[in-house]
A and B are shown apart, each in its own frame.
Chain A
Amino acid sequence: MRFLRRALGGLILSLGLATTAWAQAPFITVASTTSTEQSGLFAHILPKFKEATGIEVRVVAVGTGQAFAIARRGDADILLVHDTAGEEKFIAEGYGIARTDVMYNDFVLIGPKSDPAKVAEAESITDALQRIAKAQVPFASRGDDSGTHRTELRMWELAGIKPGGSWYRELGSGMGPTLNTAAAMDAYVLADRATWIAFDNRQNLEILFEGDKALFNQYGSVLINPERHPHLKHDLAKKWHDWLISSNGQEAIASYKLRGQQLFFPNAE
């Protein structure tokens, strides 16, 4: 028992030491989406930002809805998300002070190669969704209030369809798990292109419809209101925000390629 107690004491001591060692280099916490993290974009651009400014960026990658919730409670220094309407609402509510376009890519409609709903022949995304609803073939929805889910719901609305019934499966999961599930049940699914390109477990799935202007996917950086959350690192967050839209930051984003394809296209003004 004495040995045990000494071992435990040592453990707790080392835990304390290790925890203090963590709080050294200046860092900010960025709440962002799973697509930016899982596609490998952050791993590509963060070292460049750190080299330029000495600031470490810690990314909490969650759905856009959860990212807003984290920022509202004052748990992140800045946001990088993809729901322009939600970002503007966040600012109108007084949680944010400004947003800027950073980069874009697009959403693609993915489905089984056999394409039972014939969406590959569709004229527009609304036409494609109408074909899926008419054929009653499985469609996997994120169902998690993420930026992609919000876009998907907007597209259904544009198509004049209220999706429901056994063919419409709300999964309540991130992009990757939704793609995994869609692959397992040969379902159609709306995905952001970056996650799709980085995704490995495709099985029968492929891109069946793309290129409609309505599928544009804009990412924005949102500064948090210092009056509401004075404890946050607003100066460091502003440096990150400015770097993202600087020519260096924009070049860093453009230079990220996966499987020979550019995933994000910078478009800061």
Chain B
Amino acid sequence: MYDNSPWAAFELIARMDPALISIVALSLKVSLSAVAIATLIGLPIGAAVALWRFPGRSLLIVILNAFMGLPPVVVGLAVYLLLSRAGPLGKYGLLFTPTAMIIAQFVLVLPIIAALARQVIEDLWQEYREQLGSLGVTRRRAIPTLLWDARFSLLTVVLAGFGRASAEVGAVLIVGGNIDGITRVMTTAIALETNKGNLALAMGLGVILLSLVALINAAAYLISETSRRRLG
């Protein structure tokens, strides 16, 4: 696709190569969407498991913790079989689309956010329990307070999920198909260039991906520091 030199990747960025820009944009879109949806669902799950006692709770915690280590290629295969025309959700025709990639990364990220949020919220709940209880606050009413007071730790939790999503290649390769211009993202492009023996270009793309992830983490850090200082 491009010249094979370590600087080729940066030249492409410098002159805003449209193919590379669209690959970068799709990577961000897929991973940020998956993390956003996993956050919306994972935080309430984490909070619920942290606050309530119910049968099978310990088992659920173990499963959530274990699923933090889901192999991406297994998730990719499972989502592939689910979305394939011969599979249960085949009629929607989602296989080999960005939506399929978001679904796969969502499955990978959800247990990370839910499990880590559970631990953060449970620790805080131990600390607040007596005080909130004496004020007559129910568990359900305590959730917004807990989420708000734990927001800086939870931001780190979300960033851990984003790290997982942006770094994985196994799942998006299977469910996306690495189709040029449609489902090619940074990690699958890096894998492809490595396969073609364009090792220097692949490494350059890798550095660009890492820089992007670093930028997003820096932005998150700045936002949390600013708001922390404002609140005193």
Contact = CB atoms under 8 A, between A and B. Distances in A.
A198 to B, nearest CB: 6
Contact of B37 (A12, A73, A174, A201): A12
B137 to A, nearest CB: 17
Nearest to A179: B197
Contacts of B86: 73-75
A43 B1 contact: yes
B195 A177 contact: yes
Contact of B33 (A11, A177, A180, A183): A11
Interface in B177-206: 177-180, 182, 192, 194-199
A232 B36 CA distance: 33
B49 to A, nearest CB: 20
A118 interface: no
A42 B4 CA distance: 19
B166 interface: no
B99 interface: yes
A229 B93 CA distance: 13
Contacts of B117: none
B84 interface: yes
Given A8-B36, A179-B197, A199-B197, A1 B148 contact: yes
Contacts of A80: none
B92 to A, nearest CB: 11
A60 B196 contact: no
A38 interface: yes
A180 B197 contact: yes
Contact of A60 (B39, B148, B177, B192): B177
Contact of A74 (B32, B84, B182, B194): B84
Interface stretch (A15-23, A154-162, A213-221): A15-23
Contact of A61 (B98, B178, B194, B199): B178
Interface in A51-70: 58-62
A177 B198 contact: no
Contacts of A34: 195
A208 to B, nearest CB: 18
B135 to A, nearest CB: 20
Contact of A43 (B29, B179, B180, B197): B180
A191 to B, nearest CB: 11
B95 A174 contact: no
Given A12-B37, A38-B192, A176-B194, A201 B199 contact: yes
Contacts of B29: 15, 18
A8 to B, nearest CB: 5
B99 A19 contact: yes
A192 B220 CA distance: 48
Nearest to A229: B85
B196 A38 contact: yes
A113 interface: no
B85 A198 contact: no
Contacts of A175: 195
A202 interface: yes
A269 interface: no
A184 to B, nearest CB: 11
A267 interface: no
Contacts of A229: 85
Contacts of B198: 200-201
Contacts of B192: 38
A29 interface: yes
Interface string A1-43: 1000000100110010011001000000100001001101011
B71 interface: no
A1 B147 contact: yes
A134 interface: no
A75 B98 contact: no
A126 B93 CA distance: 46
A102 B60 CA distance: 55
Interface in A76-133: none
21 contacts: A1-B147, A8-B39, A12-B33, A15-B29, A15-B102, A18-B98, A22-B98, A29-B179, A60-B178, A61-B178, A73-B86, A74-B85, A75-B85, A75-B86, A177-B194, A200-B4, A200-B196, A200-B197, A201-B199, A229-B85, A231-B93
Given A8-B39, A58-B182, A74-B90, 16 more contacts: A8-B36, A12-B33, A15-B102, A18-B29, A19-B98, A22-B97, A38-B192, A43-B1, A43-B180, A58-B177, A60-B179, A176-B196, A180-B197, A199-B196, A200-B4, A201-B198
